[in-house]
Structure 1
């Protein structure tokens, strides 16, 4: 690759990295939000539809290892038969 193509690719990557939406998401004009879920009378607002469920983004429950440590013996770590 030439020096010119490397510079062009770098600038393109920086330009794409700068793209991003900074405003709240709103429904398009003359359109409505999805209908209420089956069995529910309340129609959710746009912010409620954007919230992730707990299973979609679970909280980390284990501490990451920060240094090299010996692993505990795993009784299920068996060689193949």
Structure 2
């Protein structure tokens, strides 16, 4: 059996959840610097984040640092 590293071609996203805004860190394969952005807990910003992630054209793996239930609307939208 051959081992393969699927994370090498995967966009890694970490999201720190809070009540009013979320801090997003995007790790692009092959790049040392990570992209940071802040989105508010609104549908417009959820759509903006989804569009940014789609523009990379890579599979995406997202990890949440959830606070209470505030992650649910964003997780539902991105799912």
TM-score range, shorter chain: under 0.3
Q: Which has the higher strand share?
A: 2
TM-score using structure 2 length: 0.19
Larger radius of gyration: 1
Higher relative contact order (CA 8 A, sep 6+): 2
TM-score (norm 1): 0.19
